[in-house]
């Protein structure tokens, strides 16, 4: 069953898009990520223009994260105080990131920048999570959380506040700053930022894995909602039909993922997520270094309106 997307300017298979949304919804509930780090590259591989894929994906992330956050809230895994503090920074970051997208599209460099940033971020985060989780599964480390240089640095920052649900004391400045970074990436890459936020909450803020997952889903709802409105108003790149299809699939998938998360230990969840992150990074890297099928697209793609 084919459907034409006006903003993307191409026809798509409805069941394929629904399936992609459902798959990413499962990941959202299972790992506490919005799924954009996976879905945006998949949509680009399918042929959706990068700017439209990123902006429309932010819309479906709202649905997947909201569904997953509600499921985790019922399980007692959401630190609302931490999530709201984080959200203060992510709203500002999302606004700044949207303006950056507008500038990059105007220069015609958006597509290449997105792919390069994706490869670098996914390689660094996926590699670190895989190494740490593998060490934990082998029993070679009892607890790596809070022992690194950055964790000690965060502990010295001013305005330390206690978050009872997470059981940690951390600087509000760091939480807001991390939120700003994730908000900017959400706008630039079409991601909820969970593949950055969850590791940061676990390793730097020393939050329990399952609470980090639930809290991240909570903040992603509002971060992605802000980015969606900003992209629609500023860049006009949100394809509503594509977003609705992804929305329908991801809402169902997120409920399934939240229940599956109870079947795994924290280090098991982290190593599975790390493997997925690295596989996506490899696919993007291959696409980046491969010669394009049509050299004309190098001069016509990614421009502004």
**Distance from CA of residue 9 to its chain's centroid?**
25
CB within 8 A of 138, min separation 6: which ones? none
The confidence score (pLDDT) of residue 192 equals 58
DSSP assignment letter at 145: T
pTM over cut 0.85: no
pLDDT tens-digit profile of 19-29? 888 877 787 66
Q: Is 198 exposed, middle or buried (0-12, 13-18, 19+ CB in 10 A)?
A: buried
pLDDT tens-digit profile of 140-163? 554 444 455 666 676 677 788 888
The confidence score (pLDDT) of residue 160 equals 85
The confidence score (pLDDT) of residue 144 equals 45
Q: Is 305 contained in some domain?
A: no
Tell me the mean pLDDT in the region 61-87: 79
Helix axes of 172-189 and 209-234: crossing angle, nearest 10 degrees: 50
Q: Is 109 contained in some domain?
A: yes
For residue 3, what are the β-bridge partners? 12
pLDDT of 299 higher than 50: no
**Cα separation, 137 vs 269, whole angstroms:** 11
pLDDT tens-digit profile of 104-122? 777 776 777 777 877 887 7
**Cα separation, 42 vs 53, whole angstroms:** 9
Q: Is 177 contained in some domain?
A: yes
Tell me the mean pLDDT in the region 212-234: 77
**Cα separation, 3 vs 13, whole angstroms:** 6
Count how many domains the chain has. Answer: 1
**Cα separation, 220 vs 33, whole angstroms:** 8
Containing structural domain, residue 45:
2-300
The confidence score (pLDDT) of residue 36 equals 64
The confidence score (pLDDT) of residue 32 equals 60
**Cα separation, 197 vs 202, whole angstroms:** 9
């Amino acid at each position: 069953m084919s459907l034409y997307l006006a903003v993307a300017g191409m026809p798509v298979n409805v069941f394929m898009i629904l399936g992609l949304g459902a798959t990413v919804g499962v990941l959202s509930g299972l790992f506490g990520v919005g799924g954009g780090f996976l879905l945006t590259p998949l949509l680009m591989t399918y042929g959706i223009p990068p700017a439209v894929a990123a902006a429309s994906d932010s819309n479906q992330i709202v649905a997947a994260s909201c569904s997953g956050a509600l499921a985790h809230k019922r399980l007692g895994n959401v630190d609302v105080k931490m999530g709201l503090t984080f959200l203060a920074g992510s709203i500002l970051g999302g606004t700044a990131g949207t303006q950056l997208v507008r500038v990059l599209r105007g220069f015609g460099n958006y597509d290449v920048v997105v792919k390069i940033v994706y490869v670098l971020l996914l390689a660094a985060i996926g590699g670190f999570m895989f190494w740490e989780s593998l060490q934990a599964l082998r029993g070679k480390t009892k607890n790596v959380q809070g022992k690194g240089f950055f964790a000690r640095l965060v502990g010295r920052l001013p305005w330390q506040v206690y978050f009872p649900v997470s059981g940690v004391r951390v600087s509000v400045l760091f939480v807001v700053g991390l939120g700003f970074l994730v908000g900017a990436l959400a706008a630039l890459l079409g991601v909820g930022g969970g593949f950055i936020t969850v590791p940061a909450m676990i390793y730097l803020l020393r939050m329990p894995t399952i609470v980090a997952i639930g809290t991240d889903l909570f903040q992603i709802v509002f971060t992605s909602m802000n980015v969606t409105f900003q992209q629609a108003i500023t860049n006009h790149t949100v394809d509503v039909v594509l977003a609705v299809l992804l929305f329908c699939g991801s809402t169902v998938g997120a409920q399934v993922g939240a229940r599956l998360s109870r079947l795994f230990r924290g280090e098991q969840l982290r190593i599975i997520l790390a493997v997925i992150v690295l596989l996506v990074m490899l696919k993007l890297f291959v696409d980046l270094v491969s010669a394009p099928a049509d050299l004309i697209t190098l001069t016509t793609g990614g421009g502004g309106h």
